[in-house]
């Protein structure tokens, strides 16, 4: 079963649930406040090796130009 990520509009909690595809668009109860949370797209990283064997990110990285002190500001 796929893993889906949700965010609660009431308390801001982000959480994941393993659910059947048939429930992919259904809201889920927040584990902290029980308010209905909506599914969000999860960021992910993908890497590839070039001909010399060096690992590089595929599609670039939004973190390369980031000046934030932590990833909490953009939730990546």
Instruction: Find residue 5's DSSP bridge partners.
Output: 16, 40
Q: Give a yes or no: residue 10 inside a domain.
A: yes
Q: Give a yes or no: residue 12 inside a domain.
A: yes
Domain total in the chain:
1
Q: Give a yes or no: residue 52 inside a domain.
A: no
Q: Give a yes or no: residue 18 inside a domain.
A: yes
Q: Give a yes or no: residue 66 inside a domain.
A: no
- DSSP assignment, residue 22? G
Q: Give a yes or no: residue 22 inside a domain.
A: yes
Domain that holds residue 10: 1-41
- Name 47's Cβ contacts closer than 8 Å, sequence gap at least 6: 55, 56, 57, 58
Report which of residues 10 and 45 the model is more confident about: 10
pLDDT tens-digit profile of 11-45? 999 999 999 999 988 999 999 999 999 999 877 77
| Contact (CB, 8 A) for 44 and 16 | no
Q: What is the CATH number of the domain that holds 19?
A: 2.20.28
């Amino acid at each position: 079963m796929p893993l889906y990520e949700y965010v609660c509009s009431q308390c801001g909690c982000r959480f994941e649930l393993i659910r059947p595809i048939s429930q992919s668009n259904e809201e889920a109860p927040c584990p902290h406040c029980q308010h209905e949370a909506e599914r969000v797209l999860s960021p992910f990283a993908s890497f590839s090796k070039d001909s010399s064997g060096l690992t590089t990110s595929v599609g670039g990285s939004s973190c390369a130009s980031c000046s934030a002190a932590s990833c909490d500001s953009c939730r990546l």
